Structure 1
Amino acid sequence: MLLSLSVASESISPLWIQISLVAVWILLIALAAWLVWRLGSDDSEVIRKIVHIGTGNVILLAWWLDMPAIIGIVASVIASAVMLLSYRFPILPGINSVGRQSLGTFFYSVSIGILIAWFWNIQQPQYAVLGVLVMAWGDGLAALIGRRFGKNKYEVFGGQKSLEGSATMAVVTFTVSFLVSIFVSGNFWQAALVSTIVAVITTALETFSLLGIDNLTVPLGSATLAYILDRLTQGIG
């Protein structure tokens, strides 16, 4: 499966085309967020999650195009610096508000760079993809559904969560992990077992979100756990 991704990327291998495709995707995300704002939405959390989920999917482009790790690492460093500045200055008012008591977007950018640097280097990019997508879709949808439908609240170290949001996180994490695992290995039972464990532990990590630290622990934790478990469960099924 990994070979097929590499072969597919060879037809569009020039670096300038790869970067252009990523840039177009980022522009589409920005356009979507702008349209939501123009249509009258004053909910900054919705706009934030559009960017959160959309940006995370860039990792799929990077995987498909077999982009050099240095591109992702440099982009992560630049994004992290911009996010830090945005907490102090109104650079990205729709995403970060000045003085906001969370470093979530900064941790998110950092985690993407770490995952790419690690798993691209060892020729196992699927784990970086898994970690980023779990954070993008799992955390993003958990927050939106928890705010909209969360009736059963609970607190962890002062942070309020909902059972509905946590259930969403578990289901989405399992789905992402399973799809990535089955695509790469083709082993149904191994993918199911690993994905179940990853979903349970990652959901637990997401409940602890002081200062947005879950944007770091969730992607790194899910990717690392899947990587270790895949090696421990090889041959199952």
Structure 2
Amino acid sequence: MLTQFPDFILTPSLWLQITIVAAWVFFILAIAGLVSRFATSDPEIIRKIVHIGAGHVILIAWWLNIPASIGIGASILASIITLLSYIFPLLPGINSVGRQSLGTFFYAASVGILVAYFWYVQQPQYAAIGMMIMCWGDGLAALVGQRFGKHKYKLLGAQKSWEGSLTMALMSYVVCGLILLGVFGNIWQTWTVSLVVAFVATSLEAFSFLGIDNLTVPLGSAALAFMLMELWGI
């Protein structure tokens, strides 16, 4: 059973879990640093490596049954650091000083919100769905759109490409489907919910003003998947 919000004791086992999560984050940052130094100086590539890689802490927290208190606390700390990084160069290569986007802050906040709710109701798979759709769907959509997106469209001033949106839809469907398949098995709800979630997640990603999609995509995807599965009695 998942730990919810009660007080916890920092046992050796819990310290090991925290160390594993921290090691993963530092590993992703190290990979981004090596790519920046030896492969490419493109800041968008570096940001997407971190964007895709760091979000997998939600899977580690789920598999290791890390208490919600740890996840929420880490999210608050990360949110503070990201806010400061918009003023000071605390995260060079990930944020640019003065960059007109709060995407990194929304990213960190999303983790805490998802953990706070879905750990409490003991349904962590939906937190994983939200984060993985943001990591792989949103992350790859941006890369594909910028490099291969030839068919553009605008939505409330934000320019997107159909190639990027198609990538978002495909990855969202695959991610949601795989997680639901692993938890509930090969039932019709798995694939129907995944299809609906993919459509909504793609629509939310199209509204990316100030990086708000880093909040709306994970929260919206997780909430929709949860509500639909509950509605169908799964």
How far did 1:138 drift?
0.6
Q: Which residue of 1 aligns with 2:122?
A: 123
Q: Which residue of 2 aligns with 1:46?
A: 45
Whether the 8 Å contact between 1:139 and 1:169 is mirrored in structure 2 is yes
| Counterpart check, 1:157 vs 2:156 | yes
Q: Which residue of 2 aligns with 1:227?
A: 226
Q: Which residue of 2 aligns with 1:67?
A: 66
In the TM superposition, what whole-angstrom CA distance separates every residue of 1:113-156 from its partner, at most 9, and x where no partner exists? 00000000111111101101110111001001111111101111
How far did 1:188 drift?
2.5
Q: Which residue of 2 aligns with 1:79?
A: 78
Structure-1 separation of matches of 2:188 and 2:58: 26
Superposition map of 1:108-187 within 5 A: 108-187=107-186
Structure-1 separation of matches of 2:26 and 2:96: 21
- Amino acid paired to 1:220: L
Q: Which residue of 1 aligns with 2:8?
A: none
Q: Which residue of 2 aligns with 1:9?
A: none
Structure-1 separation of matches of 2:98 and 2:37: 25
The number of residues matched between the two structures is 226
Structure-1 separation of matches of 2:24 and 2:109: 20
How far did 1:187 drift?
3.8
Q: Which residue of 2 aligns with 1:31?
A: 30
How far did 1:53 drift?
0.5
Structure-1 separation of matches of 2:36 and 2:26: 15
Instruction: Report the TM-score when normalising by structure 1.
Output: 0.92
Instruction: Report the TM-score when normalising by structure 2.
Output: 0.93
Whether the 8 Å contact between 1:104 and 1:213 is mirrored in structure 2 is yes
Q: Which residue of 1 aligns with 2:198?
A: 199
Structure-2 separation of matches of 1:47 and 1:84: 19
Q: Secondary structure at the match of 2:92?
A: coil
| Percent of aligned positions that are identical | 60
Q: Secondary structure at the match of 1:224?
A: helix
How far did 1:40 drift?
4.3
4+ residue stretches of structure 1 with deviation over 4 A? none
